[in-house]
Amino acid sequence: MKKFFPLILVVTLILALGTTALAQVRIGIAMPTQSLQRWNQDGANMKQRFEAAGYVVDLQYANNNVALQISQIENMILNGADILVIAAIDGASLGTVLEVAKDEGIPVIAYDRLIMETDAVSYYATFDNYMVGTIQGKYLVEALDLENRTDPVNIEIVAGSPDDNNARYFYQGAIDQIQPYIDAGKVIVPSGQIAFEQVATLEWSSERAQARMDNLIAAYYAGGRPLHAVLCSNDSTALGVTNSLLGAGFTKEEFPLITGQDCDIANTKNIIAGYQAMSVFKDTRTLAERVVKMVEAIVRGEEPEVNDTETYFNGVFTVPTYLCEPVFADINNYEELLIESGYYTREQLEN
């Protein structure tokens, strides 16, 4: 059974002293890396919202180094963190350090990436990851008119990092849309690389995605075979694929449809320029706001709101989850979604 003695003391202080006592509540935020734009935004959004609400925030980035992230979490616990918010680098690597958090009565919120193989995680906040892939897959089905066309199309698949539990949800959501057309012969994957293990990209690396795409082009498309689409699970892999295609001399007129996720600045510029077809927009402000609400409920001694108690089994138990909804972004709606909402300025998206 989880012990919440430090948290009870915090709640007692709040009741006794009023909202100014929120400054006594210390939030440890562990983010995986600063090398991807989205994690910088996630961390900054949460830090700003927590500090605006009066919390003390310890925000750390681990440079995709698992040992460093574990050390950072250990230090957060030693420094008196009352609640931990963790976007894990490797979801299965944190069991030991989180046992310490559990023993100290520290609630843990898994942020966007499910923490695996432990009962020391309290809640999970993320976007609907299967829906992300579904949006990508449906886009290609409709853009390529797979339902009606008779001539087959050639596509390749670039998935995410195998140590990120979300990557399999993104992949599966997309493949479930495309697989019927592969079975019907309307979609051909010339490389034959379809299984997740064949198409995964460690660390979501643009460089690794680019190198793999270089090899695919040389092996399967050097003779002029058309490439109609590349199903990329996120923007960092899409960026690597785009760089590879440009390096191989693909012109805008023959450029394949490329999917993505996160609406990173570089990728949004590619959408505007016609080199990426779409991205899935996950407004990090929405997710940050949801996590702040979760923390506030915990501090008040209440159960945070969740909307999924069946999907996210972490190998030990099904983690109570709040799913935010992702949305589709392309050349037709990016201004409304990204600029008019204040997510980016127009100047940020100018070349």
- Counting runs of H as helices and runs of E as strands, what totals does the chain give? 12, 12
Angle CA(283)–CA(289)–CA(294) in degrees, nearest 5? 135
Q: Are 115 and 32 in contact (CB under 8 A)?
A: no
Here the tokens at position 170 are: 């993104």
In CATH terms, is domain 129-282+345-349 a member of 3.40.50.2300? yes
Residue 86 CA: distances (Å) to CA of 25, 78, 236, 279: 17, 16, 21, 25
Q: Give the mean pLDDT of the chain.
A: 93
- The pLDDT, as a whole number, for residue 333 is 97
pLDDT tens digits along 204-241: 999 999 999 999 999 999 989 999 999 999 999 999 99
Q: Is the pLDDT of residue 301 over 50?
A: yes
**Within the chain, which residue ranges are assigned CATH 3.40.50.2300?**
5-121+283-325, 129-282+345-349
- Residue 211 DSSP SS3: helix
DSSP state of 254: G
Residue 171 CA: distances (Å) to CA of 21, 94, 132, 265: 44, 24, 9, 23
pLDDT tens digits along 235-261: 999 999 999 999 999 999 999 999 999
Residue 221 makes CB contacts below 8 A (sequence gap 6+) with 190, 227, 248
Please tell me the CATH superfamily of domain 5-121+283-325, with its number: Response regulator (3.40.50.2300)
Beta-carbon neighbour count of residue 61 at 10 Å? 20
Q: Is the pLDDT of residue 12 over 70?
A: no
Q: Is the pLDDT of residue 8 over 90?
A: no
- The pLDDT, as a whole number, for residue 37 is 87
Q: Is the pLDDT of residue 18 over 90?
A: no
Among the listed residues 279, 264, 265, 273, the one whose alpha carbon sits nearest the alpha carbon of residue 245: 273
DSSP state of 79: T
